[in-house]
Structure 1
Amino acid sequence: MTDESFAFLRQLLESPSPSGYEAPARALLRQRVAACADRVEVDMLGNLVAVLEGEGEHRPRLMLTAHCDEIGFLVRHIDDRGFLFFAPLGGVDAHLVPGQRVSVQTTNGPLRGVVGKKPIHLLKAKERERVVPLDEQFIDIGCADGEEARALVAIGDPVVFAAGLERLQGTRITSRALDDKMGAWLVAEAFCRLAAGKRPAADIHALFTVQEEVGLRGAGPGAFGVAPDVAIAVEIGHGTDTPAHSPAQSGDVRLGKGPLLSRGPNINHALFGLLRATAAEAGIPLQVIGEARGTGTDANVIQLSRNGVATALLRVPTRYLHTPSEVLDLNDLEQALDLLVAVAGKVRSRSDFIPD
């Protein structure tokens, strides 16, 4: 990975963009793809679409997609002592929130805060066995009273964890929002690589969706607007190579062993086969996970858009999802990028993906 690409990954991961408030990430992505796209558009919901026209007649429409939102919080109440009460944006684990440092995104810029609850020293025995619900936790921004806090923060201001990207050992990194800004990074980088080479046989649409973490809300309208024949969604995949998992229950998914493909009813068989064959050709290691129903990803709603879309789900193994410290291996990320670019060059006809 070049220094420039890594810097873009860091910038994207550290841009605050919880669901419904994706403007900072969208601006970075738009800047990245605008130089190589034939056109760039933003729909009324906030989905960003970049288009690269292919060559020839009767071109299929291939959509590469990932969501650019992250989990976070929303300020719901400011009490008279200056504490902020909040609701989750997406699936936030109440276990891990107390004590976290957060960044409140106000109209006048970010404010640092910490999440508080009653300290363990003052908890009764039964209270120690209970997970404190998010609506009983609060954010302390250091204000003396409610008047001071309300002058700085407004109801509805979004909040994100304050963690950024850090390197671990070898090629491992940790950051908040790898789910799924690493996917948005992949789609943007693949799009620019395709634009820099020979024009593909397909029209390429890069769709960066919003509000995935609050119910896959952006992908449906986004896919309806693009009207793709074929779509490859890029997402994280649960890395199960830790003491917390049983491979028999969660699948055997390991960091550093290559990208991950989902297989099941949500996935077009011909497109899955093309991804697998292309990886073998290029010497890219692959892992496969079976998913017996619609996946909890944008691929689910994309497959069902209009009269159906040939859909695949390319994942990058990631540990500790929906925490401020998600972990992945950069080798898996780069191999996923190589695979995405190679497969996009092989999509030539929509008829190749119509089931027998």
Structure 2
Amino acid sequence: QIGGWDPQVLVGQRVLVLGRDGDVPGVIGKKAIHLMQAEERRKSSRVNQLWVDVGAEDRDAVVALGVRVGDPMVISQGMVRLAGELIASRAIDDRIGAFVVLEAIRILERESSELLASATAVATVQEEIGYQGGGARPSAYALKPDIALVVDVTFSTDVPDIDKKEVGEHSLGGGPVLSRGSAAHNNVFEMLAEVADLEGIPHTIQASPRATRTDADGIHLTRSGVPTGLISVPNRYMHSPNEVVNLDDLFHTAQLIAAFIRRLNPEVDFTPR
């Protein structure tokens, strides 16, 4: 499997196999519950117990559809509006980060004031499987940034059965989450928090003492080191076909990024004192 999927949410899902000749629809199958022994029913599903049914009768029929070993597949699930300002969709982690960054650029573009710092928006791949920054590491190496802001998602804790003592208290509608820890430069964090307060942007703080499991882990160690900040959007049901976020959080995060960039100038120094 590519990325950290929970096998329990995969059973019965419709998928698209990204085949050589185009997308091939299929469904993820598993033995029907009626045919399971009592002990089997009590066990969690494992990936090696599941299969993808594309409707083909045999191997030759599969090949004729343009499907080969190693073809990736994605959940066939669109975005839906829920009550209030909530949306549900697959791949919010972390396509929503790309949306937020683009929205921040739009905000800056609409303003008439001239920026005193240049900003580059980058969308990278392999964060879920790279473990040490994926595509963000070579991007940071090539760009040589003076500072980097990483936008990702984090766990929304406003649902049952989540230990807030472990992951903190972050709710949908509570605004962006600012990380503090070894990969998040403290001076960048302080400036983000100050800007959020000045702009009246709601936010919470998350402790990440070790790895953040985001692109920040790779970026902050690139070349001689990059002062890096991590801003996250609260997200329910992460790594499932129906992740849920609040639209207000998206726009508050974009506003924070834009306001932060506006305050950058050649005199800003993130060197620890």
User: Which residue does the alignment assign to 1:120?
Assistant: 33
Shift of 1:350: 7.1
What letter corresponds to residue 189 of structure 1 in structure 2? Answer: E
Shift of 1:125: 2.1
User: Which residue does the alignment assign to 1:332?
Assistant: 249
User: Which residue does the alignment assign to 1:51?
Assistant: none
Q: Distance in 2 between matches of 1:249 and 1:269?
A: 21
Q: Deviations over 1:146-177 (max 9, x none)?
A: 21111111222210001110000000000001
Are 2:217 and 1:300 equivalent residues in the alignment? yes
Shift of 1:351: 5.4
- Alignment partner of 1:173 out of 74, 87, 103: 87
Q: Where do residues 82-121 of structure 1 align in structure 2 (5 Å cutoff)?
A: 88-121=1-34
Q: How many residues align?
A: 269
Relative to its length, the structure with more strand (as a share) is 1
- Alignment partner of 1:207 out of 110, 115, 122: 122
Report the aligned-residue RMSD.
1.4
Q: Distance in 2 between matches of 1:239 and 1:219?
A: 25
Shift of 1:136: 2.5
Q: Deviations over 1:39-80 (max 9, x none)?
A: xxxxxxxxxxxxxxxxxxxxxxxxxxxxxxxxxxxxxxxxxx
Identity, in percent, stands at 40
SS in 2 for 1:189: helix
Shift of 1:266: 1.5
TM-score (norm 2): 0.94
User: Which residue does the alignment assign to 1:50?
Assistant: none
SS in 2 for 1:207: coil
User: Which residue does the alignment assign to 1:244?
Assistant: 161
Q: Distance in 1 between matches of 2:44 and 2:162?
A: 22
TM-score (norm 1): 0.73
| Alpha carbons 1:316, 1:332 under 8 Å: kept | yes
Structure 1: any 5+ residue segments left out of the alignment? 1-87
Q: Once structures 1 and 2 are overlaid, which stretch shifts more, 186-195 or 162-171?
A: 186-195
| Alpha carbons 2:134, 2:218 under 8 Å: kept | no
Shift of 1:123: 1.1
Shift of 1:194: 2.4
Q: Distance in 1 between matches of 2:168 and 2:20?
A: 44
Q: Structure 1 residues 351, 279: CA separation in 2 closer, same or farther (over 3 Å shift)?
A: closer
Q: Deviations over 1:114-159 (max 9, x none)?
A: 0001111111122223223212211001112221111111222210
- Alignment partner of 2:236 out of 319, 334, 339: 319
Q: Distance in 1 between matches of 2:23 and 2:140?
A: 33
What letter corresponds to residue 164 of structure 1 in structure 2? Answer: G
- Alignment partner of 1:269 out of 183, 186, 189: 186
User: Which residue does the alignment assign to 1:158?
Assistant: 72
Q: Where do residues 124-135 of structure 1 align in structure 2 (5 Å cutoff)?
A: 124-135=37-48
Structure 2: any 5+ residue segments left out of the alignment? none
Are 2:173 and 1:259 equivalent residues in the alignment? no
User: Which residue does the alignment assign to 1:291?
Assistant: 208
